[in-house]
A and B are shown apart, each in its own frame.
Chain A
């Protein structure tokens, strides 16, 4: 079993829809939770990070962490065609060198 599970998609939505992307994980030691966006043939870029449980909002993006369920989510409001990309969740521990453990990524397609 992988430490981090993520549905590969693709997830297709119309422009303006609310998108929900999710990851589950098995290691309760994870403390930092990140979401990266990766456009085709590009490197991942950090969208948001959250420490421990709770919500964090940044513009149209909201990240949620539920440590009791080992479940994290990224919500995108008013989705745009430019949001079409692969979204990767990542997480790490809080001790020593924090090696990032990534999900496989969910491909999102937002149609005009």
Chain B
């Protein structure tokens, strides 16, 4: 079946602009995760959604970052007033249930460049 998809694949924006990144998880997966991958930094956890529960936002780096998940499926990560340090690859992953969160399936990522 189809894997996790993300759009856009690349985004170049000017400092101070808002951006929206989209993630379509694997159908039926109840858990959805956002990570950020910066050069030489590895993957950094941002936010986690599980079903209808309140999201775990403990990894969001500032209040400029927010995310929502509509209808338990598609998720949007929004970055307001972008800064150059926001430049990174933003990865989305999904998994079946909370208990199997190690089996996370990743999308190809959105490469964000803030000029």
B interface, size bucket: 20 to 34
Which residue numbers of B lie inside 8 Å of A, CB to CB? Answer: 4, 33, 35, 40-45, 48, 50, 56, 58-59, 91, 93, 98, 101-109
B103: chain A residues at CB < 8 Å are 46, 49
Number of interface residues of A (CB under 8 A): 25
Task: Decide: A43 and B107 in contact? CB cutoff 8 A.
Answer: yes
A46 to B101, CA, bound (A): 12
Q: Count the A-B residue pairs with Cβ separation under 8 angstroms: how many?
A: 62
Q: Which residue of B lies closest to A51 (CB)?
A: B102
Known: A46-B103, A97-B56, A97-B101. A102 touches B48 (CB 8 A): no
- With a CB–CB cut-off of 8 A, which chain B residues contact A100? 33, 43, 45, 101-102, 104
Which positions 88-107 of chain A face chain B at CB distance < 8 Å?
88, 90, 92, 97-105
Q: Which residues of B contact A45 (CB under 8 A)?
A: 105-106
**Across the two chains, which residue of chain A brings its CB closest to B44?**
A102
> A41 at the A/B interface (Cβ < 8 Å)?
yes
- Residues on A with beta carbons closer than 8 Å to the beta carbon of B42: 4, 6, 88, 102-105
A contact residues vs B (CB 8 Å cutoff): 4, 6, 8, 32, 34, 36, 41-46, 49, 88, 90, 92, 97-105
Q: A36: shortest Cβ distance to chain B, in Å?
A: 8
Q: Quick check: B4 and A43 within 8 Å, CB to CB?
A: yes
Please give the distance in Å from B33's CB to the nearest CB on chain A. 8
B40, A8: Cβ atoms closer than 8 Å: yes
**Contact across chains for A43 and B109 when beta carbons are under 8 A apart:** yes
Give the residues in chain A near B43, CB-CB below 8 Å: 44, 88, 90, 100, 102
